[in-house]
Amino acid sequence: MYLAKVNYKKDNVVQILSSILKDIIDENTVVVCIGTDRAIGDALGPLIGTMLKNSDFKYPVYGTLNDPIHALNIYESIDLIKNTHPKGNFLAIDACLGSKSSIGNIQIREGPILPGKGVGKKLPQIGNYSIVGIVDKIDENNRFSFNNVRLSFILELAEIISLSILLSS
């Protein structure tokens, strides 16, 4: 179920997102940022994880530029996180592919993230809640690449989502 769908260019995007996140984030919150720093379009999660860690966010954060959670280590990472935080309220964050008209939308959902779905991978899901940033369009002819995603766009999305999380906690 969607709790929010808002474009990053909207004037009050941070206020909209943070007001919803205030009802999600609690003392058991664990933030899990999915993605890799080896592809600009997929670096949204690790950028957010790094920003939260650098801001002395008071809750545990996993998945940073220095220690990303990606397809090659996701099984072990999720096992470790769930074992370390058995009562965790997991907030998962990832980049996502969508329709061309949805690019730039930030969505908060009740329920888990399905990492790799947009590029045809079946990976374990995580999250009681999830935040996705739609960074590019789905290309049925070449599902395994993020097309021409600009780093400045990913950075702007990451700043908005990070600030929204920080203001809500």
Between CA 21 and CA 37 the distance in angstroms is 26
Q: Which pLDDT does position 140 carry in this prediction?
A: 67
Between CA 51 and CA 61 the distance in angstroms is 10
Express each pLDDT in 122-142 by its tens digit: 888 999 999 999 999 887 665
Between CA 5 and CA 133 the distance in angstroms is 10
Token pair of 73 as six digits: 């280590």
The reported pTM is 0.93
Express each pLDDT in 109-125 by its tens digit: 999 998 777 667 788 89
Q: How far is CA 19 from CA 56, 120, 130, in A?
A: 20, 33, 15
Pick from 59, 65, 10: nearest CA to 31: 59
Between CA 166 and CA 162 the distance in angstroms is 6
Please name every residue paired with 89 in a beta bridge, in sequence order, or none if there are none.
Answer: 29
The rounded percent of the chain whose pLDDT value lies above 70 is 93
Express each pLDDT in 52-98 by its tens digit: 999 989 999 999 999 999 999 999 999 999 999 999 999 999 999 99
Which residues contact residue 23 at a Cβ distance below 8 angstroms, ignoring those fewer than 6 apart? none
Token pair of 14 as six digits: 């941070």
Beta 129-137 vs 89-98: how paired, if at all? Answer: parallel
